[in-house]
Amino acid sequence: MILLDGKTTAAAIRAEVRDEVARQKAMRGRAPGLAVVLVGQDPASEVYVRNKVKACEETGIVSRKLTPPENIKQVDLEALILELNADPDIDGILVQLPLPLGLESQSILDLIDPCKDVDGFHPVNIGRLAAGLPGLRPCTPAGCIELLKRHNLPTRGKRAVVVGRSNIVGKPLAMMLMQSGEYADATVTVCHSRTADLAAEVRRADFVFAAIGKPRFITAEMVKDGAVVVDVGINRTESGLQGDCDFEGLWGKVAAITPVPGGVGPMTIAMLMQNTLAAFKAHLEM
């Protein structure tokens, strides 16, 4: 049994980023800059942003937190993004989602310069991913793959099931697993709320990726012996944070599994640091 420990793995990645940031800063005279835009005061978003800013401090990336009020007008938020696009000290722009009611997020995301789109949500970057071209990849799916890589669990030739088809997790994760490479090259099935027999689909998989948003939804009966389970879910319940998988039920039955918390969550932030460093290098070479 392998515990896919995202906390330790992410710490190792942050240390690598920190060393490279220090090297780049000595060479180029400045560190990468990340703008984090947090509109309004959603408590969960505040926690995520705090963790991202903390990771920047640890890696030497300069973070700039912008906190426009909840009632900011769409046009003013758009103007802010355009300003950040033009700012030579900013290499990455992240708009924390969800935006408050009344603001239209897709048109905001569409405005971010694709070269500064460190969340990898811009249609250009999604398109590049679909086409197998290099580009900034969405952090959560990239974190899932990186976690497998760092535990030597290649997906090549294996059956992978992704439960969830959101634009930020399920869909890009499925696309990554379809690319060529040792940690891709999977035979991918994508499931969602309209899947006819979800348990049967999941039971066939060597690799199960759960991105559903329902606590303990994937149970031991649904997973085959020796599978690898990557749980993306973060659900706030009365008994604390829970994943989409029944960790206790699966432990002992599967070959490897991520805990929640301490699995994919910290990996997502580590990938954001990697993306910001990559965007910085590309920016300086332009």
Q: Which residues are catalytic?
A: 52, 96, 119
Nearest-approach distance from CB 190 to ligand NDP, in angstroms: 9
The Cα angle at residue 257 between residues 148 and 230, in degrees rounded to 5: 60
State yes or no: residue 170 binds ligand NDP (CB under 6 A): yes
Q: Which residues contact 281 (CB under 8 A, 6 or more apart)?
A: 24
- List 148, 198, 222, 230, residue binding ligand NDP (CB under 6 A): 198
Closest CB to ligand NDP among 163 and 229?
163
The encoded tokens of residue 78 equal 């758009």
Total site size for ligand NDP, rule CB under 6 A: 25
- Residue of 41, 74, 193, 219 interacting with ligand NDP (CB under 6 A): 193
Q: Is 168 in the site for ligand NDP (CB under 6 A)?
A: yes
**Do the Cβ atoms of 117 and 108 come closer than 8 Å?**
no
Q: Interface with ligand NDP by CB under 6 A: which range of 101-109, 123-131, 152-160, 232-240?
A: 232-240
* Binder of ligand NDP out of 61, 188, 211, 228 (CB under 6 A): 211
Among 194, 196, 285, 286, the residue binding ligand NDP under the rule CB under 6 A is 194
Q: Give the residue ranges of DSSP H helices in the chain.
A: 6-28, 43-59, 74-86, 105-111, 123-130, 139-150, 170-178, 198-203, 247-250, 264-285
* Residue 232 touching ligand NDP (CB under 6 A): yes
Which has the closest alpha carbon to 172: 232, 257, 222? 232
User: Alpha helix (H) ranges present in 131-263?
Assistant: 139-150, 170-178, 198-203, 247-250
Q: How far is CA 81 from CA 59, 117, 241, 244, 276, in A?
A: 24, 11, 33, 34, 17
- Give the type of residue at 225: D
Q: Is there binding between residue 10 and ligand NDP (CB under 6 A)?
A: no
Please choose, out of 49-57, 108-116, 159-167, 247-255, the segment that lies near ligand NDP by the rule CB under 6 A.
Answer: 159-167
- The nearer residue to ligand NDP, 17 or 163, going by C-beta atoms, is 163
Is residue 164 part of an annotated ligand binding site? Answer: yes
Pairing label, strands 159-163, 92-95 = unpaired
The answer to whether the annotation marks 212 as part of a ligand binding site is no
Decide: is 203 part of the binding site for ligand NDP (CB under 6 A). no
Residue 165 contacts ligand NDP per CB under 6 A: yes
Nearest approach in angstroms of CB 258 to ligand NDP is: 9
Using rule CB under 6 A, residue 141 touches ligand NDP: no
User: How many Cα atoms sit within 13 Å of 95 on the Cβ side?
Assistant: 28
What is the edge-to-edge ordering of all strands in the sheet holding 187-191? Answer: 2-3, 256-257, 228-231, 207-210, 159-163, 187-191
164 binds ligand NDP (CB under 6 A): yes
Residue 189 touching ligand NDP (CB under 6 A)? no
Between CA 206 and CA 54, with CA 213 as vertex, the angle to 5 degrees is 95
CA distance 38 to 191: 32
Q: Which residue is nearest to ligand NDP (CB)?
A: 166
Q: Contact between 265 and ligand NDP (CB under 6 A)?
A: yes
Q: Binding site, residues?
A: 164-166, 234
Residues that bind ligand NDP (CB under 6 A): 140, 163-166, 168-170, 191-195, 198, 211-214, 232-235, 264-265, 268
Numbered residues of the known binding site for NADP(+): 164-166, 234
